[in-house]
Amino acid sequence: MAEKRVYFFGGGKAEGNAKMKELLGGKGANLAEMTNLGVPVPPGFTIATKVCDEYYKSGGKWPKGLDKEVDANLAKLEKAMSAKLGDPSKPLLVSVRSGAAASMPGMMDTVLNLGLNDAVIEGIISKTGNARFAYDIYRRFIDMFGDVVMRCSHDYFEEVIDTAKKKAGVELDNELNADQLKEVTEQYKAVYKKHVGELFPQDGKVQLQHAINAVFGSWNSERAIKYRQLNKITGLLGTAVNVQAMVFGNMGDDCGTGVCFTRNPSTGTKEFYGEFLMNAQGEDVVAGIRTPMELVKLKKIMPKAYQQLTKLMTRLEKHYKDMQDMEFTIQNEVLYILQTRTGKRTAEAAVKIAVDMVGERLIPKKDAVNRVTPEQLDRLLHPHFDPKAKRSVIAKGLPASPGAAVGQIVFNAEAAEAWKEDGKKVILVRIETSPEDIGGMNAAEGVITARGGMTSHAAVVARGMGKCCVAGVSALNINYAAKKLIIGEKTLKEGDWISLDGTTGEVMEGQLAMVEPTLSGDFGRFMKICDQIRKLGIRTNADTPEDAKRARDFGAEGIGLTRTEHMFFEGERIWSVRQMILAADDYAVMLKKLDAAQNDSEKKEIEKEYAKTKKDFEGSLQQLLPYQRSDFEGIFMAMDGLPVTIRLLDPPLHEFLPQDKENQAEMARRLDVKPEVVKAKVEQLHEFNPMLGHRGCRLTITYPAIARMQARAIIEAALNVQKKGKKVYPEIMIPLVGKVAELKISRDDIIDEINKVFAEKKTKIKYMIGTMIEVPRAAVTADEIAEEAEFFSFGTNDLTQMTCGFSRDDAGKFLGDYIYKGIYSADPFQKLDQTGVGKLVEMGTKLGRKTRKSLKVGICGEHGGEPSSIDFCHRVGMNYVSCSPFRVPIARLAAAQAAVRNA
Amino acid sequence: MAEKRVYFFGGGKAEGNAKMKELLGGKGANLAEMTNLGVPVPPGFTIATKVCDEYYKSGGKWPKGLDKEVDANLAKLEKAMSAKLGDPSKPLLVSVRSGAAASMPGMMDTVLNLGLNDAVIEGIISKTGNARFAYDIYRRFIDMFGDVVMRCSHDYFEEVIDTAKKKAGVELDNELNADQLKEVTEQYKAVYKKHVGELFPQDGKVQLQHAINAVFGSWNSERAIKYRQLNKITGLLGTAVNVQAMVFGNMGDDCGTGVCFTRNPSTGTKEFYGEFLMNAQGEDVVAGIRTPMELVKLKKIMPKAYQQLTKLMTRLEKHYKDMQDMEFTIQNEVLYILQTRTGKRTAEAAVKIAVDMVGERLIPKKDAVNRVTPEQLDRLLHPHFDPKAKRSVIAKGLPASPGAAVGQIVFNAEAAEAWKEDGKKVILVRIETSPEDIGGMNAAEGVITARGGMTSHAAVVARGMGKCCVAGVSALNINYAAKKLIIGEKTLKEGDWISLDGTTGEVMEGQLAMVEPTLSGDFGRFMKICDQIRKLGIRTNADTPEDAKRARDFGAEGIGLTRTEHMFFEGERIWSVRQMILAADDYAVMLKKLDAAQNDSEKKEIEKEYAKTKKDFEGSLQQLLPYQRSDFEGIFMAMDGLPVTIRLLDPPLHEFLPQDKENQAEMARRLDVKPEVVKAKVEQLHEFNPMLGHRGCRLTITYPAIARMQARAIIEAALNVQKKGKKVYPEIMIPLVGKVAELKISRDDIIDEINKVFAEKKTKIKYMIGTMIEVPRAAVTADEIAEEAEFFSFGTNDLTQMTCGFSRDDAGKFLGDYIYKGIYSADPFQKLDQTGVGKLVEMGTKLGRKTRKSLKVGICGEHGGEPSSIDFCHRVGMNYVSCSPFRVPIARLAAAQAAVRNA
């Protein structure tokens, strides 16, 4: 027997099936599968992908026997449709479509309505009495065949119809009447003859052969080749060709067409949902000229077809185990399903459908968690713009923190807070933000910055607040003095309205309509399913009791990172901090001198000399202590029963000093020193690379008293809250450790201070001391570090900076080029660089656990809320991820998906 | 038989030997060994260390039998010395000394002249007729015994003698006559009785027992315990006690004392060298009151003793296989050797002795390389101050580049160059230096900076130039405007003389006398020995033909790092560079637009729009090309036959722009743009953490044309020099690679450009392309990187910065604390942090060679010239180390020592 090249489908039986994608292409295999399922798809046949290969190898010839096989299948198709190619009384029309094993949407050619010719048109007219319909499909076919198959540009045909419309005095194609369309058809044939050099073929088989060749040819079109390169599609033989009977919903009142969903794609409700039009084509439903009817109405109009359709809907959803989106056509009361596929749905619907299907025992929980994407969940949690609102985008930046915001422009934090108090909604626009802007950011609806990337200060803080932020809008020119901003030609000033979309990074003029998020009971049920599946713990990064509470409501199982630096800025505290900084160096010198002193009298001498220094430094810390203690009390109260990891002071001290002259003068006044003293201190603390400077535990090494104050505040707070009957699990985290010795020294100091507190209060509490792993050196020596650490928390922001050598404040200048050139597939500050930074994370985890089997390991960088990074954390065997409160549900979902993926 | 506790030595035979250190202590074992060698050491006996343990365990009692054993050994000693303890006619005097298995210099007690009493003194006087001598040693003995053994403070005795001197009207002890000393002796005995509560013991055996107990007791004195803790000396049983006959060089004219060396310790010449005094004690030689005679004179005075001594010198040097420093005493014509030890020597002598001893076949080459320390070699290569010159140190900084320099203060590079042209010697004093200061640094004798560490710009460049530099003199306040500097109370102005010691970091006022280095033939011979032993190749870091030549003269086998950035500053070039920078961003945009263009007409449109940009950018590079080419030609000529690694442009572009207003204005004038344009560009290029910014291969990714220009210049230069009959081995090094993809893209560009050059010139040359491994990510993914790299060069400066998270420009602020607290034992920028950074180096090397077995691996950071780091590089199996020219000999030595150490 000759080699089989063509596979028939139709009449409830197909020669192929879903598994034969390689041979029949995706579309062909799917059509075969549906046919086998008893779905009434219009019959047809598929020419296998290998034939495309043979076609090319033979220089554009059909392999021997193909013509006969095509003829035989065509005959079978004619029989199935009780029609015949070119038969005016019972004409068979077919579509010819490409379809490779991998999806290449829109890349290859399609020809519809093949089989039309002059005689068939006459037949159709006499049968339907609808000459307008007949000439309309004929002229469309000539255009498409000419353009797609014979390379006679569509522009030539367009010229003709434009002239005809002018002549007829109409604007739209469908305003032309039958006679006018007939005339257009004749002119199209003339255009075809002129440019192709021969008459338009009247023989359906000739049309078919040309169309099949055209589909083969489109496999190696420039754009198809480029698409395969870009999408790394390799190893395919070619495209299959699907020849399928055309069906028409517009051949009379016993015809119709529509789309339907097995569940409501907007709400997820389990109901047959869809719409249809009688005597219409699919494109009419889409075009919106006639208003389609709700699917239920079909029950009355065509009860049999409706019943058949709903049965099929139920059946297909059960088969594919997901909500289906189907296209159907009824031709002369016969129902055809043109397509069924997994239906797109809103975020709300995705959650409801997933939960319902578990309830219906249609899918197991592990499948349900994959029915909602993290992006969908994210959308549920943030306000967004009404999709129908018209957007006038004036600039685009990085989508730094999702959501939508509308407000009036202000240019500084003070204005933001003042306007907010006046009941106004504001958007804070800054070149970049600094810790001093936090109050203003909190007051604003959203934040825009001209500089900075996805992990800039603005982005990180905004995400933490769940506040919309667009960062790095490089087109933005801000003039603080004139209180205006310029984008290209456009100038906006303080008070002008602006809208921003933190999910797309778009900045728009004016006030866009917004939709606020609402969380249904299904959301909670879905999250519970995720919790049952996931292995990773989910914690949050929270610096305030409010954040802690919010995160807890979102399902956080503890705090993985409380930053303490923001606390140093609030209200009066900053003055104590600045007083402390002014005295810090002399204080350190004093400590060294005391250490070197030979006897008590020398010590007394030194203490006398440094009396003021000691008072200024230790006094400032004494002032800060009650503030810190009450900060921690609030957080411990909110997290009753859950662990709280508190990171000791991290940033370099110069971040707490004012950089501009005016504020320096204020500081001098306030602290009663000469302005030069403040200026000199600012200069002295200046760092060339603050990222790699005097911060983190390095501060503890130089100024142990700061860490001691913080440790005391933590433990005193914990004891106070414990006294109120709450359960407190404090975990003290020492940042920026690179070598075990610095951890040991810091830890010993802290333990010493804690023991003092225990002795004073005559009571104890359990606590842990651990470290951030964020310096590469710590990761490669994690076995040593683990000797002094009860837990590790990977600070992947800084670890990425140091491992890749990227300053996240500066990398914006070249990371774009890196992603453009494909060096990184994504910003490594957003998605963990698994092959580089990840290698250190894995090494650190393994080495750490080698020393301390019970070592608790987590992540508290920005990556803790990013799904692909969470998957990595799952694989590495971490105990938990920690992310900003609004990312907690996403992390719960991503952790569940990771558990399923890596099961 | 009872357990042996006491070991005798004397009469050419000892019961112990050198191997019994554990039991007899270091001193006891050594005395035994010398005795066995036939060295006439004064006889004596050693009470074993274990007895000390027994003594403590029994609560301060002698173990049973010890008294009898001591008595027996004392009897033996008396026999050997033909003298008797307490016998006035033939008195035996002994010393009682401690001596543990580990050296604890000065930590435990010693008693001399034990055995003196009233009767013995009378005997000595009658025998020697020297009453002054007799009473002098007696009063000293009472003082020492009282103070050390009986805890009667030395101060009491001092009071007595002070009164006596006042009474006698003299100033010095030795001005008191015999009668006066006799009186003092009597008063000493009274003091003793008063404070000890009993008469001074006249019985020698009682004295001995007390003295032995005192030595035992001193084992657990506070300071001894602390010393052992600090030096981590553990596991020892206690101290041994050495009782040895005293001999006197001051008992008459047939007595004398001296020190001698088996070779000249200043020059290394093989000659008996030393000096002596007749009728004197050892302390008289040291005190300098009498002028000692040269050793050869002893030949005439005491030919027998001299002959015996020289024989012994020869013998001991042969035995110990090193130059010996010996102390001898002749008592009544009998020669005694009191001590022999390896002699200290000058750097010159060390080299000569090592070379000579190899020539004499006394030591193998592998031992010779350990006879000179890298520090000694370093001293040979740099001028240094006359050790006798008085130093008035006004400040101390880091010893950033060794050597000494004297000159007049200038505060900027222009002044340095101008003054130098006027024939003046200048010291350049800067807050910190930048690439713009290079001309001035070159003109100066030495450089001082107020900021910056051991690897600051000033330090690195100065070391490269072999120029003296003291960096980070934090006490220094510089006022550029007033052209003066203030250190504490002292103000110096431009033109004032100053001296700096780059080896100690000292800054001194005025002009210190200097000694210039001279290199002998022995130096060359010694280096050749090192070369035969070492396994590591030695290359140099050199940016100019002069440096290259110098390094070659010092034995460099190639260039491991040619930095190209300095070349961008010279003369007119900087204007082309700045022109290029102004156009760079628009040029990058143009490239992207061209890339996205759909067709040629669009491309033409774009090229038209960017015509000026293109001209400015490419034109500037065209102007730079011939300069670069000639730079490389010079270096290739100098390195004929040796490989040259050239690193492509590394620093961020903003380093080439002027930071101050005045120079920005000049740039604007010169390049015909508005000053705002320059200012805006400077601001735009500003980076928060330039260390982690847009530099290295990141520039190549954004602006491939720069790397192409450099590659072209390298290869054109190589071809030109090859044409002249030289052998050129260019190695192109791509800096700051973190991911293989960026290396591949850069490399492909470079290869493409090189192939163009080959095609144009119709000739080829072999070359290599490799990369720096300086980003932690590169080290952990070195297996991937090696796919695109033919060699690795570890840039351990930057690797240390990123692995440890230390900015070397800022770390000075806390590294001091880190070393003070013992977190790091040394500055990790000076000595490679082997356990942290080294782990990545090892990982990188192993992973790289896994992919590419033949991968050439070197190091080109500052560590390449540091001995302990070189040892590490040897162990890791690198092919070579590369260091600044002046470090090349040190690296050759250190590599040889590493080879021996790790054999």
pLDDT in tens, A134-160: 998 899 999 999 999 999 999 999 999
CA–CA gap between residue A254 and residue A234 (Å, rounded): 46
Exposed, middle or buried: residue A412 (CB in 10 Å: 0-12, 13-18, 19+)?
middle
Is any Cβ of chain A less than 8 angstroms from the Cβ of B822? yes
CA–CA gap between residue A192 and residue A731 (Å, rounded): 80
What pLDDT is recorded for position A369? 97
% chain A with pLDDT above 90: 74
Give residues 747 to 806 of A whose Cβ lies within 8 Å of B: 774-777, 780-781, 784, 798, 801-806
Catalytic residue among B860, B873, B874, B883: B860
Best mutation target, A694, A748, A787, A815, to test chain B (most B CBs within 10 A): A694
Parallel, antiparallel or unpaired: strands B856-859 and B880-883 = parallel
Name the residue facing A739 among B689, B739, B836 (closest C-beta): B836
What pLDDT is recorded for position B50? 95
Give the gap in angstroms from C-alpha B824 to the nearest C-alpha of chain A: 8
What pLDDT is recorded for position A267? 86
What pLDDT is recorded for position B222? 83
What is the band of A481 on the pLDDT scale with cuts at 50, 70, 90?
A: confident
What is the band of A72 on the pLDDT scale with cuts at 50, 70, 90?
A: very high
CA–CA gap between residue B771 and residue B858 (Å, rounded): 11
CA–CA gap between residue A374 and residue A377 (Å, rounded): 5
Most confident of the following: B330-334, B515-519, B555-559: B555-559
Name the residue facing A692 among B775, B810, B833 (closest C-beta): B810
Quick one: closest CA in A to B840, which residue?
A780
Name the residue facing B698 among A691, A814, A837 (closest C-beta): A814
Give the gap in angstroms from C-alpha B262 to the nearest C-alpha of chain A: 43
Cβ atoms of A783 and A848 within 8 Å: the answer is yes
What pLDDT is recorded for position A289? 60
Which of B226, B214, B221 minimizes the C-alpha distance to B60?
B214
Q: Helical H runs in B321-364? A: 347-359
What pLDDT is recorded for position B707? 97
Cβ atoms of A885 and A554 within 8 Å: the answer is yes
CA–CA gap between residue A711 and residue A697 (Å, rounded): 13
CA–CA gap between residue B675 and residue B666 (Å, rounded): 9
Contacts of A706 in chain B (CB under 8 A): none
Name the residue facing B741 among A781, A823, A843 (closest C-beta): A823
- Say whether pLDDT at B214 is over 60: yes
Task: Tell me the mean pLDDT in the region B145-163.
Answer: 92
CA–CA gap between residue A778 and residue A785 (Å, rounded): 7
Exposed, middle or buried: residue B477 (CB in 10 Å: 0-12, 13-18, 19+)?
middle
Give the gap in angstroms from C-alpha B897 to the nearest C-alpha of chain A: 28
The CA distances from residue B333 to A461, B131, B327, B769, in Å, are 91, 21, 16, 75
Cβ atoms of A607 and A594 within 8 Å: the answer is yes
What pLDDT is recorded for position B108? 79
What pLDDT is recorded for position A286? 59
Contacts of B776 in chain A (CB under 8 A): 776, 802-805, 840
Is any Cβ of chain B less than 8 angstroms from the Cβ of A820? yes
Span B85-128, pLDDT tens digits: 999 999 999 999 999 998 887 777 889 999 999 999 999 999 88
Quick one: closest CA in A to B456, which residue?
A688
Is any Cβ of chain B less than 8 angstroms from the Cβ of A171? no
- Say whether pLDDT at A106 is over 90: no
Ramachandran angles phi, psi of B422, nearest 5°: -80, 10
Give residues 710 to 739 of A whose Cβ lies within 8 Å of B: 736, 738-739
CB–CB contact B817 A739 (8 Å): no
Cβ atoms of A506 and A428 within 8 Å: the answer is no
Contacts of B822 in chain A (CB under 8 A): 741
- What ipTM was reported for this prediction? 0.82
Cβ atoms of B540 and B405 within 8 Å: the answer is no
Which of B545, B470, B889 minimizes the C-alpha distance to B717?
B545
Give the gap in angstroms from C-alpha A265 to the nearest C-alpha of chain B: 38
Task: Tell me the mean pLDDT in the region A636-656.
Answer: 97
What pLDDT is recorded for position A743? 97
Give the gap in angstroms from C-alpha A232 to the nearest C-alpha of chain B: 16
What pLDDT is recorded for position B180? 94
Most confident of the following: A278-292, B170-184, B691-705: B691-705
Most confident of the following: A428-442, A761-775, B290-304: A761-775
Task: Tell me the mean pLDDT in the region A404-418.
Answer: 93
Is any Cβ of chain B less than 8 angstroms from the Cβ of A692? yes
Cβ atoms of B823 and B858 within 8 Å: the answer is no
3-state secondary structure of A858: strand
Give the gap in angstroms from C-alpha B687 to the nearest C-alpha of chain A: 6
Contacts of A692 in chain B (CB under 8 A): 689, 691-692, 801-802, 805-807, 810-811
What pLDDT is recorded for position A806? 96
Mean pLDDT score across all residues of chain A: 92
- Say whether pLDDT at A290 is over 90: no
Q: How many CB atoms lie within 10 A of CB B819?
A: 14
Is any Cβ of chain A less than 8 angstroms from the Cβ of B835? yes
Q: B374-381 vs B347-359: helix axis angle to the nearest 10?
A: 120
- Say whether pLDDT at A575 is over 60: yes
The CA distances from residue A239 to A215, A236, B220, in Å, are 8, 8, 92
- Say whether pLDDT at A235 is over 70: yes
The CA distances from residue B354 to A435, B345, B380, in Å, are 64, 11, 15
What pLDDT is recorded for position A334? 92
Is any Cβ of chain A less than 8 angstroms from the Cβ of B434? no
The count of CB pairs under 8 A between chains A and B is 187
The half-sphere exposure of A549 on its side-chain side, counting CA atoms within 13 A, is 6
Contacts of B807 in chain A (CB under 8 A): 687-693
Task: Tell me the mean pLDDT in the region A37-65.
Answer: 94
Q: Is A468 a catalytic residue?
A: no
Catalytic residue among A152, A255, A860, A883: A860
Is any Cβ of chain A less than 8 angstroms from the Cβ of B660? no
Quick one: closest CA in A to B813, which residue?
A694
Name the residue facing A822 among B741, B805, B809 (closest C-beta): B741
Cβ atoms of B438 and B412 within 8 Å: the answer is no
The half-sphere exposure of A387 on its side-chain side, counting CA atoms within 13 A, is 2
Q: Is A457 a catalytic residue?
A: yes
CB–CB contact B694 A810 (8 Å): yes
Amino acid at A476: L
Task: Tell me the mean pLDDT in the region A664-686.
Answer: 93
Contacts of B811 in chain A (CB under 8 A): 692-693
What pLDDT is recorded for position A772? 97
Mean pLDDT score across all residues of chain B: 92
Which of B304, B330, B336 minimizes the C-alpha distance to B35?
B336
3-state secondary structure of A444: coil
Task: Tell me the mean pLDDT in the region A866-884.
Answer: 97
Contacts of A813 in chain B (CB under 8 A): 687, 693-694
The CA distances from residue B277 to A197, A423, B174, B248, B253, in Å, are 127, 101, 17, 12, 10
Virtual torsion, Cα B606, B611, B612, B614, nearest 10 deg:
90
The half-sphere exposure of B532 on its side-chain side, counting CA atoms within 13 A, is 13
Cβ atoms of A589 and A607 within 8 Å: the answer is no
Q: How far is CA B5 from the centre of its chain?
A: 43
CA–CA gap between residue A879 and residue A862 (Å, rounded): 17
- The sign one gets for the Cα dihedral B412, B418, B422, B425 is positive
Q: How many CB atoms lie within 10 A of CB B489?
A: 6
CB–CB contact A807 B693 (8 Å): yes
Name the residue facing A810 among B692, B806, B813 (closest C-beta): B692
Span A291-337, pLDDT tens digits: 788 899 999 999 999 999 999 999 999 999 999 999 999 998 999 99
Catalytic residue among B52, B260, B384, B457: B457
Parallel, antiparallel or unpaired: strands A768-773 and A791-794 = parallel
Virtual torsion, Cα A804, A805, A807, A811, nearest 10 deg:
-70
Q: How many CB atoms lie within 10 A of CB B291?
A: 8
The DSSP H or E segment spanning A703 is: none
Is any Cβ of chain B less than 8 angstroms from the Cβ of A593? no
Amino acid at B117: N
Largest CA distance in chain A: 122
The residue whose two tokens read 């005798």 is: B8
What pLDDT is recorded for position B286? 59
Q: How many CB atoms lie within 10 A of CB A820?
A: 12
Residues in chain B: 903
CB–CB contact A702 B814 (8 Å): yes
Give the gap in angstroms from C-alpha A654 to the nearest C-alpha of chain B: 13
What pLDDT is recorded for position A2? 66
- Say whether pLDDT at A901 is over 90: yes
Task: Tell me the mean pLDDT in the region A489-508.
Answer: 92
Best mutation target, B810, B832, B840, to test chain A (most A CBs within 10 A): B810
Contacts of B734 in chain A (CB under 8 A): none
Which of A802, A730, A809 minimizes the C-alpha distance to A773?
A802
Is any Cβ of chain A less than 8 angstroms from the Cβ of B702? yes
Output the pTM of the full model.
Answer: 0.83
Task: Tell me the mean pLDDT in the region B58-81.
Answer: 94
Number of H helices, E strands in chain A: 35, 32
What is the band of B498 on the pLDDT scale with cuts at 50, 70, 90?
A: very high
CB–CB contact A693 B592 (8 Å): no
Give the gap in angstroms from C-alpha B490 to the nearest C-alpha of chain A: 20
- The vertex-A296 CA angle with A294 and A297, nearest 5°, equals 75
- Say whether pLDDT at B288 is over 60: no
Task: Tell me the mean pLDDT in the region A601-611.
Answer: 91
CA–CA gap between residue A568 and residue A543 (Å, rounded): 12
What pLDDT is recorded for position A133? 85
What pLDDT is recorded for position B171? 84
Best mutation target, B590, B591, B688, to test chain A (most A CBs within 10 A): B688
Cβ atoms of B777 and B698 within 8 Å: the answer is no
CA–CA gap between residue B86 and residue A235 (Å, rounded): 108
Tokens read off for A810: 């500066």
The residues facing B44 across adjacent strands are B9, B244
Q: B131-144 vs B118-128: helix axis angle to the nearest 10?
A: 150
CA–CA gap between residue A840 and residue A779 (Å, rounded): 6
Span B235-255, pLDDT tens digits: 888 999 999 999 988 877 899
Name the residue facing A688 among B694, B810, B817 (closest C-beta): B810
Please tell me what DSSP assigns to residue A91: B
3-state secondary structure of A261: strand
CA–CA gap between residue B770 and residue B170 (Å, rounded): 79
What is the band of A288 on the pLDDT scale with cuts at 50, 70, 90?
A: low
The DSSP line for B704-718 is: HHHHHHHHHHHHHHH
Task: Tell me the mean pLDDT in the region A816-842.
Answer: 94
What pLDDT is recorded for position B2? 65
Task: Tell me the mean pLDDT in the region B642-661.
Answer: 95
The DSSP line for A317-330 is: HHHHTS-EEEEEEE
- Say whether pLDDT at A450 is over 80: yes
Name the residue facing B776 among A781, A803, A809 (closest C-beta): A803
